[in-house]
Chain A
Amino acid sequence: MSLFNKERVLVPIDFSEASFNAVKETRGLVTEASNLHILHVLHPLHQGEPGVIWKTVNNETRKQHVEQAFYQRCQEAEYQGVHFSVLVGNPSEKIIDYANTNDIDLIVIPSHGRTGISRFFLGSVAERVVRFAHCPVLVLRRSD
């Protein structure tokens, strides 16, 4: 009997190396690619952005770009069938919402280990997910 259920595992990614390592390690943990849910949360669009002013950029174009970038990065056969989603909003809130709506059993999340001023302003997404998630959360510490 395992410590937790691994039928529906969520890995939130921010396109950093650490988050792709988390995806790789979690893929080794689950039996089927379809057990793996990967989520990227986009920051709401900056309204002063030139692309917004000239209407060449919107959330749809951004989602398309993100999907393209993800499938380009994870094109190996072992990733065929993973559930990849893109949401827009506050990262920790969206991760928890997604986990609740999709009955996620386990969240695997890398921690950037921010300190000082950037921690003060950014806080830690991992920290908030641990605090508010309804399922077990596995935080991968930065190795360096």
Chain B
Amino acid sequence: MLSKMILDCWTMNALAAVKINGLLDRIDAGVSQVLEVLNDAIFFSIGGMPLIVIWLLMAGVFFTWQMRFVNIRAFKHAIDVVRGKYDDPNSEEGEVSHFQALAIALSATVGIGNIASAAVAIALGGPGACFWLTVGGLLGMSTKFVECTLGHKYRIIKPDGTIVGGPMYYLSAGLAEVGLHRLGNILAVIYSFTGILAILVAVAILQSNQSLAAVTAIVPSLADYGWIYGALMAGLVGLVIIGGLQRLARVAGVIAPLMCGIYILVCLWVLAIHFTAIPEAIATIIKSAFSFHAVGGGFAGALIQGLRRSAFSNEAGSGTAAIAHAVARTDEPVREGIVTILEPFIDTVIICNLTALVVIITGAYNNPDFANFSGTQLASAAFGEAISWFPYLLAIVIFFFAFSTIISQYYYGEVCWEYLLGDRSETLFQVLFLGCILLGSVASPQAVIEFGDALLVALVLPNLLGVFFLSHQVAVDLEDYLNRLNASNLAIVEN
């Protein structure tokens, strides 16, 4: 009797499960279709080059020209400011120093994308892609300068001394100043809404999913324990954002510069081993950047892949870094803007180029054995070719990169959420965020993953549209600042 009841119950459960699975499949198919359409719309391409990337590049060229090559002429000043030469903690308002703001913004952008980007660009576009990747990074420096200066200029200092700022604040307040009040408000709401979605999908789901994929590509035995990885990641992030474990939060702040340092050292080590091959590798890069008969995609392939990967790796134009830089302790928005030019430089010009050199010098990019490898696998194979245990170090670096990216980008999402829905419903965002981290490790929703990239890039639309209206004032402020700097009216604080 009992066994019959159990059997009935089991059959009913099985039937229910089939029904639920069928429903889930239908929802999945429907959602995938919608996401695909949106994805195609955002990445509408001409000759393999998405229009949105062309727009980003035009913005980079325009801002570089309008700011009269701020990316080059203010470079030394940026380093001086980060070194603390101009820090004055007593008289200026803000939460953190220039260096601390840079570390937070860097931890949000430097991640697995930087390691994979260069390798993918070379795999698809040939070594010449590396050259165009660098060009894209250099142009991104000017874009980042403009958006972060605006982020700092239109920040809001709350009565408790904490600060909030970012694209939604300069879009609404800045555009109102130039008589575009309505447009500003609309763009700010679109930006915040897209920002929340982007952080949940492109950061929580994607970082957890992609870092797990990258780690298991290096250590395949971990593949069956994806949920443990997700639970560990969600648990650690939860300890910081809900548990308030400040010591761990601090780790997220300092880990990005540390991991960047380790990664750069590892790359230099591999390059040192093959130092005789460096001139030839550089010659290959330059030659294939302009050659119509190069390896991979030739000139067009190199150009498209290089520029496209550069846009994805440094996030210049998406405006997110302006959220972190708004809290910097200074009364000079231009000074903070100048600091941010170092970000695409470190993130794209240095890190991506070093990865590219490693992949080229070790011959991993044209090794037929690695033909079907993903970007991270290719980079890992290149490192492994140099020193056998390097891939394991790479796995650790990737885990920490993902952790620090998740923590820093959580703050960006929180600011978007607060702008749109107020700060009292933050718990809901925290729960969604942690849920998405876990989801990313147990499921591999391909459509969602592709859509994540699209969402981050979609932030460029409302952001750059507003920035174009406001950039003239930034150019005026920049000249005023540099004139005062040259006239030595800006004090250097000797520490």
Which positions in A face B, CB cutoff 8 Å?
15, 40, 42-43, 45-57, 61-66, 69-70, 90-91, 117-118, 121-123
In Å, the complex CA distance between A49 and B407 comes to 10
**A122 nearest CB neighbor, chain B only:** B422
For residue A44, give the distance in angstroms from its CB to the closest CB of chain B: 8
**In the assembled complex, B147 has its CB within 8 A of some CB on chain A:** no
Among B96-104, B174-182, B285-293, the stretch that binds chain A is B96-104
Q: Given A40-B159, A66-B159, does the pair A53, B426 have CB atoms closer than 8 Å? A: no
Asked if A51 contacts B96 (CB within 8 A), the reply is: yes
Max chain A C-beta neighbours (<10 A), residue from B101, B249, B253: B249
Q: Given A48-B407, A49-B162, A61-B161, does the pair A56, B95 have CB atoms closer than 8 Å? A: yes
Asked if B96 contacts A62 (CB within 8 A), the reply is: no
Choice from B104, B249, B410, B421 contacting A117 with Cβ under 8 Å: B421
Among B238-246, B262-270, B271-279, B437-445, the stretch that binds chain A is B238-246
Tally of contacts, chain A with chain B, CB under 8 A? 95
Asked if A15 contacts B159 (CB within 8 A), the reply is: yes
In Å, the complex CA distance between A143 and B201 comes to 42
Asked if A48 contacts B327 (CB within 8 A), the reply is: no
In the complex, which residues of chain B have a beta carbon less than 8 angstroms from the beta carbon of A54? 95-97, 100, 104, 250, 253
Asked if B422 contacts A118 (CB within 8 A), the reply is: yes
**In the assembled complex, B160 has its CB within 8 A of some CB on chain A:** yes
In Å, the complex CA distance between A12 and B22 comes to 54
Interface residues of B in 323-376 (CB under 8 A from A): 324, 327
Max chain B C-beta neighbours (<10 A), residue from A46, A61, A90: A46
In Å, the complex CA distance between A64 and B162 comes to 12
In the complex, which residues of chain B have a beta carbon less than 8 angstroms from the beta carbon of A40? 159
In the complex, which residues of chain B have a beta carbon less than 8 angstroms from the beta carbon of A117? 421
In the complex, which residues of chain B have a beta carbon less than 8 angstroms from the beta carbon of A65? 159-161
In the complex, which residues of chain A have a beta carbon less than 8 angstroms from the beta carbon of B240? 47-48
New A-B pairs, 4, CB < 8 Å, besides A48-B411, A53-B253, A66-B160: A51-B327, A54-B95, A56-B96, A57-B161
For residue A5, give the distance in angstroms from its CB to the closest CB of chain B: 30
Report, nearest first, the 9 A-B pairs whose CB atoms are least far apart.
A51-B95, A65-B161, A48-B411, A62-B160, A53-B253, A69-B159, A121-B425, A54-B100, A15-B159
For residue A47, give the distance in angstroms from its CB to the closest CB of chain B: 5
In the complex, which residues of chain B have a beta carbon less than 8 angstroms from the beta carbon of A63? 160
For residue B324, give the distance in angstroms from its CB to the closest CB of chain A: 6
**A40 nearest CB neighbor, chain B only:** B159
In Å, the complex CA distance between A121 and B101 comes to 31
**In the assembled complex, B414 has its CB within 8 A of some CB on chain A:** yes
For residue A110, give the distance in angstroms from its CB to the closest CB of chain B: 16
**In the assembled complex, B408 has its CB within 8 A of some CB on chain A:** yes
In the complex, which residues of chain A have a beta carbon less than 8 angstroms from the beta carbon of B159? 15, 40, 65-66, 69-70
In the complex, which residues of chain B have a beta carbon less than 8 angstroms from the beta carbon of A62? 160-162
In the complex, which residues of chain A have a beta carbon less than 8 angstroms from the beta carbon of B454? none
**In the assembled complex, B252 has its CB within 8 A of some CB on chain A:** yes
In the complex, which residues of chain A have a beta carbon less than 8 angstroms from the beta carbon of B408? 48
For residue A111, give the distance in angstroms from its CB to the closest CB of chain B: 15
Asked if A53 contacts B252 (CB within 8 A), the reply is: yes
In Å, the complex CA distance between A24 and B162 comes to 26
In Å, the complex CA distance between A52 and B246 comes to 7
**In the assembled complex, B73 has its CB within 8 A of some CB on chain A:** no
Asked if A43 contacts B96 (CB within 8 A), the reply is: no
For residue A20, give the distance in angstroms from its CB to the closest CB of chain B: 11
**In the assembled complex, B92 has its CB within 8 A of some CB on chain A:** no
In Å, the complex CA distance between A40 and B249 comes to 28
**In the assembled complex, B423 has its CB within 8 A of some CB on chain A:** yes
In Å, the complex CA distance between A57 and B246 comes to 11
Instruction: Name 18 A/B residue pairs within 8 A (Cβ), A-sorted.
Output: A15-B159, A42-B160, A43-B424, A47-B242, A47-B243, A47-B244, A49-B95, A49-B327, A50-B95, A50-B100, A50-B327, A50-B411, A51-B327, A53-B252, A54-B95, A62-B162, A90-B424, A123-B424
Asked if A46 contacts B96 (CB within 8 A), the reply is: no
Asked if A53 contacts B160 (CB within 8 A), the reply is: no
Asked if B241 contacts A47 (CB within 8 A), the reply is: yes
In Å, the complex CA distance between A55 and B251 comes to 12
Asked if A52 contacts B249 (CB within 8 A), the reply is: yes
Asked if B422 contacts A51 (CB within 8 A), the reply is: no
In the complex, which residues of chain A have a beta carbon less than 8 angstroms from the beta carbon of B410? 48
**B423 nearest CB neighbor, chain A only:** A43
Max chain A C-beta neighbours (<10 A), residue from B100, B162, B240, B425: B162
For residue A76, give the distance in angstroms from its CB to the closest CB of chain B: 18
In Å, the complex CA distance between A65 and B414 comes to 22
In Å, the complex CA distance between A102 and B97 comes to 41
For residue B438, give the distance in angstroms from its CB to the closest CB of chain A: 18
For residue B412, give the distance in angstroms from its CB to the closest CB of chain A: 9
For residue B103, give the distance in angstroms from its CB to the closest CB of chain A: 8
Choice from A15, A43, A46, A118 contacting B421 with Cβ under 8 Å: A118
In Å, the complex CA distance between A43 and B246 comes to 17
In Å, the complex CA distance between A50 and B324 comes to 7
In the complex, which residues of chain A have a beta carbon less than 8 angstroms from the beta carbon of B96? 50-51, 54, 56
In the complex, which residues of chain A have a beta carbon less than 8 angstroms from the beta carbon of B426? 46
In the complex, which residues of chain B have a beta carbon less than 8 angstroms from the beta carbon of A69? 159
